[in-house]
Amino acid sequence: MIEKIPLQVSEFINLYFNLPLNGKKVTCPYYINIKIIRARMALRVLIGKGSPEEIIQECLIYEKLRGVDFRKMSISEIRDFMVKRHIGIDCSGFIVHILDYWLKSIQKKHLWKHLKFPKQNLYMNISRLFRPIENISAYMLINKNNSSQIKNLNNIRTGDLIRLKGLKRGYHVMLISEIDKSGGKVKSFKYIHATRWYTNEHGVREGRVIITNTDLPLYKQKWTDILDGKNWTFEEILKDKNFSQIRRLKNVPLY
């Protein structure tokens, strides 16, 4: 039995994987902003927090402003063009947009209405009110205030999150998008994320995990997303084996 995320949500996700840019289908690259001033003042599409529609629109605007023609450019050239202009998506921006779209598709409140935000000063509270997506980090989604661990792999569901330690700094979050079950046991699952790794193939990406034994932790399973002999995602898993786990948002009614 294959469990998948809702079709409407899957179609939304597919936009990130196939941004339609003047006849080209471009996979959204990775971009993260680390400058606080820029994060507070810039458009969210320019700080790694844009929706597919915002990313498409910004790319087409820059295409005209810079006098280039995407139809005459290769996919890799278009992606380089995007990265140089800070157009891309980071891991939390990708996951937040997916979950928010999922909730809206079943006529529920925005994702941030279900989350617990840390206590902050008045300025940050106002910023969060008007710019909620920019104020939701990977750590906020995967900490104990907003999610809890799913210890038994046979109990995972699509929409569950996978938390990891970043290879450089901070945290990384991924989303389970498909589960293959047989006889009530999970045989494998797919995950999606926006990753800074995988060399020129950085950005939104899908991976698959084959379950060798449901009683074993994540790092004991088979992570198959290998490029040029290297699996960056599995290296993040290994960076902190105990921290790497599957989490479920506590108060987010996806089902």
Beta bridge pairs of residue 164: 172
The answer to whether 156 and 147 have CB atoms below 8 angstroms apart is no
Q: Both tokens of residue 61?
A: 């605007």
Q: pTM for this one? A: 0.94
Given a cut of 90, is residue 111 above it in pLDDT? yes
DSSP codes, 163-188: EEE-SSSSEEEEEEEEEEEETTEEEE
* pLDDT tens figures, 84-105: 999 999 999 999 999 999 999 9
User: How far apart, in Å, are the Cα atoms of 20 and each of 17, 159, 237, 247?
Assistant: 9, 26, 33, 33
- In the block, tokens 């901070």 appear at 170
| pLDDT in the model for residue 38 | 45
Based on DSSP, count helices (H) and strands (E) in the chain, helices before strands: 8, 10
Query: With contact defined as beta carbons under 8 Å apart, do 140 and 134 qualify?
Result: no
DSSP string, 111-166: GGGGSPPPP--HHHHHHHHH-TGGG--HHHHHSTTTEEE---GGG--TT-EEEEE-
Phi-psi group of 48: left, alpha or beta (phi > 0 → left; psi -120 to 50 → alpha; rest → beta)? left
Tens digits of per-residue pLDDT, 162-200?
999 989 888 999 999 999 999 999 999 999 999 999 999
Of 28-42, 46-60, 67-81, 201-215, the range with the lowest mean pLDDT is 28-42
Residue 189 is given by DSSP the state: E
